[in-house]
Amino acid sequence: MKKNIHPEYKKVEVVCLCGNKMELYSTVDNIHVELCYKCHPFYTGEQKIVDTANRVKRFTEQSKNAEKKKDYTEKQKEKKNLKKGIGAEKQKEKPILTLRDMMDALK
**Looking at residue 49, what is its pLDDT?**
66
**Looking at residue 50, what is its pLDDT?**
63
Per-residue model confidence as pLDDT tens digits over 61-75: 999 888 888 888 888
Do 106 and 73 lie in one domain? The reply is yes
Domain span at residue 89?
Answer: 51-107
Per-residue model confidence as pLDDT tens digits over 19-58: 899 999 999 988 999 888 888 877 777 776 666 677 888 8
- CA 74 – CA 84 distance, rounded (Å): 15
- CA 75 – CA 31 distance, rounded (Å): 53
Domain assignment of residue 23, yes or no? yes
Query: 71's torsion region: left (phi>0), alpha (psi -120 to 50) or beta?
Result: alpha
pTM over 0.75: no
Domain assignment of residue 1, yes or no? no
Do 61 and 97 lie in one domain? The reply is yes
Do 58 and 105 lie in one domain? The reply is yes
